[in-house]
Amino acid sequence: MCQENKVYLPNSTGCFICGDENKAGLQLRFYTEDGKVKTKVRARADHCGFEGVVHGGIVAAILDECMSWAAMRAINRMCQTGELTVRYLLNAPDDRELTCITAVEKANKRLAYTVGELVDDEGTVYATATAKFTPLTAEATLEIDDMLKYQGGEERVFDALRDEVLGDQ
């Protein structure tokens, strides 16, 4: 698979899902590829509900965070989850790398509808999800964006919004 169109998104320090300094967290990096937002995850034993099986809440959190980035890119605002539905198909194992793949089904200025799935390299689907996200204000979006970590080369998701807001000042 060609990885040339893979572009990483910013992350944070303390977030349970993407915080690179949160030792208890998953420390995931989200990226865009082929028009979708994705992340690779290999859960540890301390992310399991019972031996070898990733806790359902962790699975939901991975899908939620990945779908939120899809929504944020579509609406050009930080978003909050309004509704999340997860369908658990198989126990998600901790002995292999899984990929979360998400996309926006439709979006407008007030709402984004997203879909996602957690799969392994063989195409086995462990969980699917749908969610609705609502945008934060432009000001709140830029405040949060200022706290994100841009290490070089990440997509600057909110730069157009920043230019729009600061252009009025």
Q: Are 115 and 130 in contact (CB under 8 A)?
A: yes
Range of the domain at 111: 7-167
Q: How many CA atoms lie within 13 A of 167 on its CB side?
A: 6
**CATH number (domain holding residue 122):** 3.10.129.10
Q: How many domains does the chain have?
A: 1
C-alpha 108: how far from chain center: 19
Q: Please report whether residue 69 resides in a domain.
A: yes
pLDDT in tens, the chain (169 residues): 444 589 999 999 999 999 999 999 999 999 999 999 999 999 999 999 999 999 999 999 999 999 999 999 999 999 999 999 999 999 999 999 999 999 999 999 999 999 999 999 999 999 999 999 999 999 999 999 999 999 999 999 999 999 999 885 5
Burial of 133 (0-12, 13-18, 19+ CB in 10 A): buried
